Structure 1
Amino acid sequence: MSKINIYSIVKPSKDESDILIKNFIKMSQKYANVEVHYIFNKTIAKAQTIGEKEAQQSYSDVYEPLLKGYNIALDVLGKKVDSYKFSQILEGKNEINFFIGGAYGFKRDFLNKCDNIISLSDLTMAHKIANIVLTEQIFRGLCIINNHPYHK
């Protein structure tokens, strides 16, 4: 069973979006172990008040130690993929890490260290919405791989 981590630079909170995210994670559990990790600390908070370069560096500092397995950054300039191509990205990998940047996105250097860069949409989304879309697409991709009728 594969392990899928979603890392997101956002302050943890308990709201309606968490219910949807947990629901997609629960449905995915028969195919993969999916976990969402919200990361926000004083260093990130301070860096975001200073400027873009400092904020991006703080995201890289937190994320780089987590680069193991197959690493995917979500970035507006990433490849656009449909659900079938997304499922192919998931297929056959033991550990997959998705990285959602903070308010200022990623440094090029961090993106170059990732195995893949994809975009969920041309639209800018709140982190919680991106997490909902990503967890739904992970479930959908796992269903496609396992011939479950959810995708149809």
Structure 2
Amino acid sequence: MTIKLLAIGKTDNKNLSALIDDYKKRLGFYIKFSLEIIPDVKNSKNLSEEQQKQKEGELILKKLNPTDILVLLDENGKQLDSVGFSQYLQKHMNSGIKQLVFVIGGPYGFSEDIYNKANGKISLSKMTFSHQMIRLFFIEQLYRGFTILKNEPYHHR
């Protein structure tokens, strides 16, 4: 199985980018992982929230394969602790799917088309974080999840 994280817009902060790269490299020891950045929608200032979500949704859909399992990182999604998330990953790996795709949407969330296509939703917190910080938090939790599955000391139980 491979895991892909799709995110709208680039990471501007060099420190965050360095940390993201560090965890991406660490993840490579456990699973094939990729982070794919979808460029911000052009002329978004001239679009309504709905129009922007629609355009972002179209860009997200273009990045998906028909067999992908799509999971949205969404504030209204299911909340898991780190052990629960590792079990969630294991369940998907055991199911024989080819690719598990997680998506961080734009500033207004997801279009209805994306919600309809999604196989699930996960919330990382009830708090609100910047889209750039969520990338780091999510990739760190992926790494933590795999260390839990391998009984490695990174996650202290």
Pair in the same fold by TM > 0.5? yes
Separation in 2 of the partners of 1:5 and 1:150?
22
User: Which residue is equivalent to 1:21?
Assistant: 20
User: Which residue is equivalent to 1:66?
Assistant: 63
Separation in 2 of the partners of 1:150 and 1:49?
46
Q: Secondary structure at the match of 1:132?
A: helix
Separation in 1 of the partners of 2:45 and 2:130?
16
Unaligned runs of 5+ residues in structure 1 are none
Moved more, 7-16 or 82-91: 7-16
- Quick one: structure 1 residues 78 and 70, their matched pair in 2 at CA, closer, same or farther if it must change by over 3 Å? same
Moved more, 140-149 or 88-97: 88-97
User: Which residue is equivalent to 2:147?
Assistant: 143
**Among 122, 127, 131, which residue is 1:127 paired with?**
131
| TM value normalised by structure 1 | 0.89
Unaligned runs of 5+ residues in structure 2 are none
Deviation readout 1:55-108 (Å, 9 max, x if unpaired): 110111011123332211011111111112211222215421110000110123
Could you tell me how far 1:144 is from its partner in structure 2? 1.4
Decide whether the 8 Å contact of 2:11 with 2:132 is kept in 1. Answer: no
Runs of 4+ in 1 over 4 A off after TM superposition: none
- Quick one: structure 1 residues 48 and 148, their matched pair in 2 at CA, closer, same or farther if it must change by over 3 Å? farther
User: Which residue is equivalent to 2:10?
Assistant: 11
Give the number of equivalent residue pairs: 149
Question: Given residue 35 of structure 2, which amino acid in structure 1 is its aligned partner?
Answer: V
- Give the percent of matched residue pairs that are identical in Structure 1 and Structure 2: 31
Deviation readout 1:102-152 (Å, 9 max, x if unpaired): 011012331221111011111111111000100000001111122222111
Could you tell me how far 1:48 is from its partner in structure 2? 4.9
Question: Does residue 112 of structure 2 align to residue 108 of structure 1?
Answer: yes
Q: Secondary structure at the match of 1:143?
A: helix
Question: Given residue 8 of structure 1, which amino acid in structure 2 is its aligned partner?
Answer: A
- Quick one: structure 1 residues 16 and 67, their matched pair in 2 at CA, closer, same or farther if it must change by over 3 Å? same
